[in-house]
Structure 1
Amino acid sequence: MGTHVFEHRGYEIAVQPEQNAYGAWQAKVSVRRADSPVVEFRPETVQPEWLTQDEAVRDGIEWGTRFVDHKLEESHNPM
């Protein structure tokens, strides 16, 4: 159950799969700019539960990449 680290558009996405008390898998996700110590975590709200560790990792990666894409779109299109 190690941490999986991915680069996406200048950001580092770290995904750590964890099993909950019921045996389902969830992903803890943190995102940071590659050149910055600032870390943003996936909110600890209701998250999907997965049957396998691989599914949780995939979900974490997808969430992280969507978060980065949204953050970059906001910085290019301020209201």
Structure 2
Amino acid sequence: MRTHVFEHRGYEIVVQPEQNAYNAWQAKVSVRHVDSTVAEFRPETVQPEWLTQEEAVRDGIEWGTRFVDHALKASHNRM
């Protein structure tokens, strides 16, 4: 499967669509700061199942952008 890379607010979101045993599509998502050479985290969450690869990729990107926005908002509030 093709890996999809999306940049959002200084972070790189990597989405790898995979089919499970039931042929449903899910997205593996990792997020890292673009200046980092190592992935900062690979959130292990329960991902929804999708009928198509495109839906899984879209969901992975949306999840990653929400995660980054939430993390940046939280770090900004600590200042």
TM-score of the pair, normalised by structure 1: 0.92
Which ranges in structure 2 are unaligned for 5 or more consecutive residues? none
Q: Which deviates the most, 30-39 or 60-69?
A: 30-39
Structure 1 CA distance for aligned equivalents of residues 19 and 4 of structure 2: 15
Aligned counterparts of 1:17 and 1:29: Cα–Cα separation in 2: 9
Percent sequence identity over aligned pairs: 79
The root-mean-square deviation of aligned C-alpha atoms, in Å, is 1.3
What does 1:38-57 align with in structure 2 at a 5 Å threshold? 38-39=38-39, 40-43=41-44, 45-57=45-57
Is the deviation greater in 34-43 or in 58-67? Answer: 34-43
The AA in structure 1 aligned to 2:9 is R
Distance of 2:31 and 2:37 partners within structure 1: 10
Name the count of aligned residue pairs: 78
Give the TM-score normalised by the residue count of structure 2: 0.92
SS at match of 2:49: coil
